[in-house]
Each structure stands twice: as C-alpha cells, then as structure tokens.
Amino acid sequence: MEQRNNILFTHSYFLRFDPKQWAMGQPYAPLGTLYAAALMRQNGYHVSLFDNMFSHTPYQVIDALDKEHPGFFVIYDDGFNYLTKMCLTNMREAAFKMCKLAKERGCTVIVSSSDSTDRFKEYLNEGADFVLIGEAEHTLLELVNALKNNTEDVSTIPGLAYFKRNSVYKSPARHVLKELDTLPLPAWDLMNMEPYRQCWIKHTGYFSMNIGTTRGCPFKCNWCAKPIYGNRYNSRTPENVISELKLLKERFNMDHIWFCDDIFGLKPGWVTHFAELVKQENLSFRYKIQSRADLLLDEETVSALAASGCENVWIGAESGSQKILDAMDKGTTV
C-alpha cells in the first residue's frame, strides 16, 4: 500500500485523565474522530484508528504506528465531548508526545482540536506539521489531497496553521459546514465497542452510545468557548439521524443514546418530526439531551421528547441570580 494513502487516526482523550469519569465508567466513542475518518475513507484513503480511551500512556500508540506505517498521523480530538475541558493539560501533553513518536517514524503529523485551535503555535513547536483550525473535516481532506499530490503551497487552504519560511502562517478561517447530511456517517466499524459496552454494563446496567445531530449554538454566553463551530446552528435532518440510530441498534444493540449537541432539536418542528420517525421505524431506546430552560416551554415539543424516549434533560441553569445571568449574557430569566 502506498504510504501517502495511509492515514492513522487517534485522539488524546484518555478516560484515566479524569478520575471522576474513570470512576463513573461511562465512556463515549470519539465521535469527531470517526467523522473525519469516514470522510477520508469515502475519498479513497485507507484509514485506521488507534483509540486511546482505555490507554494508560501515549506510548501505546507505537504498536499501531509500527504496524500501519502511515504516511499521515492525525490526532483528531472529539469536539462533541465537553468532558475534554476537564483534562486539557494532560491531553495536550499526550498529544505532544504522540506528535514526537509519529515524527520519529517519518509521518506527516496533523492535529485538530479545540485546544490546538487556540494554541496552534505550541503544537507546531512540539512536532505537529499542520494544525487544523476550527471545523476540520474538509480542511483535512483538502490538505492531504494537496500533500499527496506534492503541492508545495497549501496557503490557499482555509483553516490551516503551519510553519512557512520559518515562521508560523495561519490561513484565512474556513466557513462552517451548513449541510451536515453531506458528511458520511461516522466510521463506527473502526471501533471496538465491546470494552465500552462492558464498562457501561458494569457501572450502570445498560449500554449507552453517542450521536451528534447539530453543530454550533446560536446563543452568545460570554464565558463559553466556541473555537470549533462558532455561533451558527446547523442541523442534520431527522431522517439522517434515524439512519444512524438504526445502524447503531442493528450493529451494537445499544440501550441508550446521549445526543451530545449543545442544544438538541432547536429548529421548529424538528423534534416532532423526529418523534414521528422513531415511532414509524419502531425504534426503542432511551436518551438524554442538553438544552436551555427557555426552550422547553412548548408542550408539543416536550410531549414529542417524552414519546420518542427522552428521559433526561441537562439544563445549563448556571445561576439563580439574575444579575449573574445578565453578566454572562445568558439570555434567560430566573
């Protein structure tokens, strides 16, 4: 196999980095990583995945590097996983170490994460050849295509940071993807979900998996970091989400879903249509979502959530003080 056609993906979220999450035993697959891998495979690349979720050290990636001999080593962290903010320093150090291990083996090293978007100079100084800024699937595809074709100047590709003539160059920002249905479904077949299942069953008695139905958030809370998807709110169609639910049910027989969107079902009519399709397809599962208190005032929406299996809603109340809420630009009232 041609080395430049071979991509090894990984991520820097180790469950052990967060003692609370390790004790809870409720891991979710690296969804963002699986989206990127699926798009690259759809475009003719051979992709493999080294999942660090249950790893002890970043050195464990060595076996995968030596087995796969990738031309490109991509550390693509999961932008859907809000828990990464609990262990950013450990994740950063692990990413730096993996960059060095891959560089020692002649790989072109590419990094994508909210942290590297914010600290791209540090990642470049620690061994990354390229940092993808913001929403990165198509940036990755365009970059790898260019490098494979020996294109010398990649400065016209939006959403990139890299060394150019011994100084850091950052290309113009990439517009966020509006049509989410154009992305292939995540490359779930790359995952060994059995350790996840066993962990969930041991700690909770059921098996939960994760799906993202939207990207971005239209609200402007001034403390919230949005380096990836910005303030635009884009959504998959209910039909597209149902196709992934059917896949996960058939392949993994999950019991429960975490819809990991910042805000689930914000578009008018989305939740009611989704509930109709769940009933039509005779899908049976429970799920949890994240939302805002002021978005759950419509009785039809709440009824549709309940009818389709929603049993838990996480709400970012943030404060019981109107003064604090106003200072946050939260946009809600007590």
**pLDDT on residue 333:** 81
What's the mean pLDDT in 313-317? 84
What order do you get walking across the sheet with 208-211 strand by strand?
208-211, 256-259, 286-291, 310-315
| Whole-Å CA distances, 168 to 100, 119, 142, 174 | 19, 12, 20, 18
The CATH homologous superfamily for domain 3-170 is Cobalamin-binding domain (3.40.50.280)
Q: Which pLDDT does position 66 carry in this prediction? A: 98
Residue 184: DSSP 8-state:
P
pLDDT at 272 over 60: yes
Average pLDDT in the chain: 92
pLDDT of residue 284: 94
Phi then psi dihedrals of residue 161, to 5 deg: -135, 135
pTM comes to 0.93
Cα dihedral sign, 298-304-305-306? positive
Cα separation, 80 vs 182, whole angstroms: 18
Measure the CA–CA gap between 160 and 143, rounded to whole angstroms. 9
For the record, the structure tokens of 308 come out as: 């389709």
Q: What is the pLDDT of residue 231?
A: 66
Q: What is the pLDDT of residue 303?
A: 95
Summarised one tens digit per residue, pLDDT across range 186-220 is 999 999 999 999 999 999 999 999 999 999 888 87
| Tens digits of residue pLDDT in 69-124 | 999 999 999 888 777 777 889 999 999 999 999 999 999 999 999 899 999 999 99
For residue 263, the Cα-to-chain-centroid distance in whole angstroms is 15
CA angle, 5 as apex, 34 and 11 as ends, to 5°?
30
Of 151 and 228, the structure prediction assigns the larger pLDDT to 151
Q: Kindly state the helix (H) or strand (E) to which residue 305 belongs, with its residue range.
A: helix 299-307
Mean pLDDT of 130-155: 95
**What pLDDT score does 4 carry?**
77
What does the pLDDT read at residue 100? Answer: 98
As a whole number of angstroms, the distance between CA 8 and CA 71 comes to 8
- Whole-number pLDDT of residue 40: 98
Highest mean pLDDT among 145-149, 232-236, 263-267: 145-149
Lowest-pLDDT range, 45-54, 70-79, 216-225, 231-240?
Answer: 216-225
The answer to whether 3-170 and 206-327 have equal CATH topology is no
pLDDT band at 297 (very low <50, low <70, confident <90, very high): confident
Pairing of the two strands 310-315 and 286-291: parallel
The contacts found for 232-239 with CB under 8 angstroms, 24 or more apart, are: 232/176, 232/178, 233/263, 233/266, 233/267, 234/176, 234/177, 234/178, 234/179, 234/180, 235/180, 235/266, 235/267, 235/270, 236/180, 236/181, 237/181, 238/270, 238/273, 238/274, 238/277, 239/277
**12 — pLDDT class (breaks 50, 70, 90):** very high
pLDDT at res. 227? 47
Return the number of other C-beta atoms located less than 10 Å from residue 311's C-beta: 11
Average pLDDT (65-70) is: 97
Phi and psi for 239 in degrees, rounded to 5?
-60, -40
DSSP at 84: G
Each domain of the chain, given as residue ranges in start order, spans: 3-170, 206-327
Residue 192, pLDDT score: 98
Overall average pLDDT of the 44-72 stretch:
98
Are 236 and 211 in contact, with CB atoms under 8 Å apart? no
Q: What is the DSSP string of 150-181?
A: T-S--TTSSSEEEEETTEEEEPPPPPPPS-GG
Q: How far is CA 273 from CA 88, 268, 309, in A?
A: 38, 10, 14
- CA pair distance 51, 32, nearest whole angstrom: 12
Token pair of 78, please?
Answer: 């999961």
- The tokens describing 242, both together, are 């149902």
Q: Which amino acid is at 5?
A: N
CATH 3.30.750.210 fits domain 206-327: yes
